[in-house]
Structure 1
Amino acid sequence: MKRPLIILLLTLSSFTLFSQAEITETEIKDHIEFLTSEKNAGRYPGGKANKRVVKYLIEAFKEIGLEAFNQDYKQVFEVALRVEKGVKKQPIVKTWNVVGFIKGNDPDLQHEYIVLGAHYDHLGLGGPSSKSEKKNTIHYGADDNASGTAALLEIAEKLINNKEQLKRSVLFIAFGAEEQGLLGSKYFVEHPLVPLSQIKLMINMDMVGRLNTEKQVYMGGAGTFPDGVRFMKELGEYLGLQPIVHSGSVAGSDHVSFYKKGISVLGMHTGGHDQYHTPEDTLDLINLPGEKEVCEYIFQTILAKASSDEAIFFINQD
């Protein structure tokens, strides 16, 4: 018989009380501040800014203590950049996914993976995906998706301090070139670093920095794994949030690439806003206490699923 969810949550809470690393507003802000800095110029694929961001992510992965596949955190791929109608195509550029993992402790379940992902790129100076009339202006992308990238690092740090509880392994991916057409995640699922059959759940964070006053956290795909809708609703409410949980509605970001391969997914966000894909998506509009709450929600989700031996399998929502 399954334990009631509340008992599971109280048990997980007792694990985290003794964690040496907590998710903090200060660290979330520091990560977003770097990612949205002028020198990173909107985190466009290719070029010095892209390399600088990738270096930052690798150093963070190392400092956290994530393991690398074949001693390399980088997964390189090439991108044909989008251009405005009538504009000459740009040269193909090189960019990267940044990948690390925590190995689970169960002899059998450690070969199963939960993936946590977020794209780190944005629009650079605008381009065809911009919603602004301002041309050649840095699109900072604080919510889209420096917020998700910061969350990825903070959740990884807390999970590694609770790794003794993990039966399954957890894989962390900072995707490149999402704004160019989900290219980083598409490349990963076509060139996976572990067999796709061993990936049991992919959780994606894209725009998680603008939690509203009603504390609504939106997600699609909760029906793609067993009991997902009930679990995500009850866990969110237990943590004082108002989860808006969709069984399907799998669209819009890097989790789509995994869903198309028959992998269970959750696409997490805190809702749209007028600053989306404009230069006005800046750090001062990020709800730092709110993002911390969202990070805790996702952390508890992964801890529960990675520390359980209950089967996770794909349920098609098409």
Structure 2
Amino acid sequence: MKYLLFLATAATVYSTSYAQDYQPSASRIQKTVGYLASNKLKGRGTNEKGGIKASNYVAKQFKQAGLMPGNGDSYFQDFTFDRKEHHNLTSRNVIGFLDNGAAKTIIIGAHYDHLGTAALFDGKYPVGQIHNGADDNASGVAGLLELVRYFTENGQKEPFNFLFISFGGEEMGLQGSKYFTSNPTIPLTNVHFMLNMDMIGRYNEERGIGIGGYATAQEWPAVFKDAQEPGIHYFTDGSGKGASDHHNFFMHQVPVIFLHTGPHDDYHKPTDDVEKLKAKEEALILKLGIQLITNAMKYTELHYVGEEKKEEEKK
């Protein structure tokens, strides 16, 4: 009897522990950002060794989580681009696929690159100084990896596939998402929606978190209706356009959601360091994001709303 009681108790403890393990974790977020925003990676610059190290790190995390390579037999999608007087710059997207045997796929993304040592920015930022980019956008990559963990370990087979993408070259003009949407590894017509996380690590209680893309699908108001997370408040913005990777998906007629905690004094400066990260609040933001994703999966289809339609409605 005691043995059976022990087994029951142990099973309960294990089940509870397991259930909590796949939830967004502040300590894991802190650890991920701590690595990506360390001086060792020297700001994860495009066309720099630190950027390559960051992309390798993300690919390794995708593989360990059990994601399939998202570009044929590779986790990488290499590309080159030109920017102003800089030619044949190289970067790559990191892509992992969770195949649930569904007809449609949800894309979740966050760019891993930052300014590096600012060599490619024509003196706009202090050249030679490391810009670690803890919030921009190591925080988004940490969020991406937490959502990978959630959807691979929550014990449920979701009614949608997931494509997780960590974009390269975002700081150079949204290059990674521009390349992907022009060379998609899955048909964009099969994409349910795209969720983008860029700078989600500096939650400001007075501002709250901004969520863009609210007007890009007819169903978003219903999806958002009951979504709330204690300790976090948010406001919405309708536009699907913006200075981050969701923009290119919106321009290819994909509904989008954009999570962003807002500007701060360390934006694009060498002082955007891990010590200023608000990992606990980021974990709560991710829980809110999971609610939105879960609510959106209740709809077999989201109906895209473009800028033209919104302009017509204003008349």
Q: Give the structure-1-normalised TM-score.
A: 0.85
Identical-pair percentage: 31
CA–CA separation in structure 2 for the residues paired with 1:16 and 1:250: 41
Equivalence for 1:174: 166
C-alpha distance in 2 between matches for 1:71 and 1:19: 32
Q: Quickly say closer, same or farther: Cα 1:163–1:117, change in 2 above 3 A.
A: farther
Partner of 2:107: 115
Size of the aligned set, in residue pairs, is 292
1:60-94 Cα shifts (integer Å, max 9, x gaps): 00111111132211001013255xxxxxx345232
Give the residue type in structure 2 aligned to 1:164: Q
- Is the aligned partner of 1:57 residue 2:58? yes
Q: Distance in 2 between matches of 1:81 and 1:200?
A: 32
Name the structure 1 match of 2:220.
Answer: 228
Deviation at 1:30, TM superposition (A): 1.0
Aligned partner of 2:39 in structure 1 is 38
Q: Deviations over 1:158-217 (max 9, x none)?
A: 111136241011110000000000000000000000011001201100100011124711
Q: Structure 1 residues 168 and 275 mapped into 2: Cα distance closer, same or farther (>3 Å)?
A: same
Pairing of 1:159-308 with structure 2 (within 5 A): 159-162=151-154, 164-214=156-206, 216-232=208-224, 234-236=226-228, 238-248=229-239, 250-306=241-297, 308=298
Q: Would the alpha carbon gap of residues 195 and 249 (structure 1) be closer, same or farther in structure 2, given more than 3 Å must change?
A: closer
Structure 1 pair 47–249 and aligned structure 2 pair: CA distance change class (3 A) = closer
Match of 2:69 in 1: 68
Name the CA shift for 1:212/1:132 in 2 (closer, same or farther; >3 Å): farther
Return the index of the structure with the highest Cα Rg: 2
Instruction: After superposition, give the CA deviation of every residue in 1:116-153 in whole Å (9 maximum; x if it has no partner).
Output: 10000001112575997643211111111000011000
State the secondary structure of the residue aligned to 2:210.
strand
Query: Structure 2: any 5+ residue segments left out of the alignment?
Result: 1-15, 309-315
After superposition, the Cα gap between the structure-2 partners of 1:131 and 1:153, relative to the gap in structure 1 and judged at 3 Å, is: farther
Instruction: Quote the Cα distance in structure 2 between the aligned partners of 1:63 and 1:208.
Output: 24
For 1:296, give the aligned amino acid.
K
Q: Which residue of 2 aligns with 1:316?
A: 306
- 2:224 and 2:303 map into 1 onto residues whose CA distance is 16
Query: What is aligned with 1:78?
Result: 80
What CA distance in whole angstroms lies between the structure 2 residues aligned with 1:202 and 1:259? Answer: 9
Separation of aligned partners in 2, 1:311 and 1:133: 44
Does the aligned pair in 2 maintain the 1:32–1:142 contact within 8 Å? Answer: yes
User: How far 1:247 moved relative to its partner?
Assistant: 2.1
Q: Secondary structure of 1:222's match?
A: coil
RMSD: 2.3
TM-score by length of 2: 0.86
Pick aligned residue for 2:89 from 76, 89, 93: 93
Other-structure match for 1:8: none
Q: CA deviation at 1:111?
A: 2.0
Is the Cα contact below 8 Å between 2:219 and 2:303 reproduced in 1? Answer: no
| More displaced 10-residue stretch of structure 1: 226-235 or 116-125 | 226-235
Contact 1:233–1:245 (CA<8 Å) still a contact in 2?
no
Aligned counterpart, 2:19: 18
CA distance in 1, matches of 2:119, 2:288: 34
Query: In structure 2, how many angstroms separate the alpha carbons of the residues matched to 1:133 and 1:60?
Result: 31
Distance 1:39 1:79, change over 3 A: farther
> Given the superposition, is the C-alpha separation of residues 119 and 163 from structure 1 closer, same or farther in structure 2, using an over 3 Å criterion?
farther
CA distance in 2, matches of 1:25, 1:147: 11
